[in-house]
Amino acid sequence: MSEVPDDVKARVRSKAAADWPDDFEMQKHTIQKQIVAFLEIEHFRTRFSADEFIGPILNFASTSWPDDYEMELHTFKKQLEAGRTFFNFKAPDVPANIFDKLKLKAFSGWPEDHEMKLHTLEKQLAAWRSLQDI
């Protein structure tokens, strides 16, 4: 744990003790998992914090889970995957003007949340497609 700042260690230990007051095995397990997640997030932060696409995702994950590095890491990975999928999404069966409107609506509705952007786009596309069969 030498790469982890003392204040982070203290917060992780304190939260583990609060979450598992009488279970030292779970405290140890929680601390280990949190430290591994912290180190992985810090690796991403060091390499990509200035990146126009990845930097805001790191910030979103961090503000969403300020005291839970496992959830921060999970959120970061899910948001990154959803963002890549959203921005590379193709729907050749949908007219370009309709697709562009749906994509813009999803983007405007959820400017920082790539998972919700993707979810909104997919739901709207499914609804549009089903309307074509009516």
Tell me the per-residue pLDDT of 93-109, one tens digit each, with 9 for 90 and over: 999 999 999 999 999 99
Query: What type of residue is 71?
Result: M
Query: What type of residue is 18?
Result: A
Each residue's pLDDT expressed in tens, for the chain with a length of 134 residues = 458 999 999 999 999 999 999 999 999 999 999 999 999 999 999 999 899 999 999 999 999 999 899 999 999 999 999 999 999 999 999 999 999 999 999 999 999 999 999 999 999 999 999 999 88
How would DSSP label each residue in 22-39?
T-HHHHHHHHHHHHHHHH
pTM: 0.88
For residues 72 and 34, give the distance between their C-alpha atoms in angstroms, rounded to a whole number.
10
Q: Are 123 and 131 in contact (CB under 8 A)?
A: no
> What does the CA dihedral 5, 43, 76, 18 come to, rounded to 10 degrees?
-20
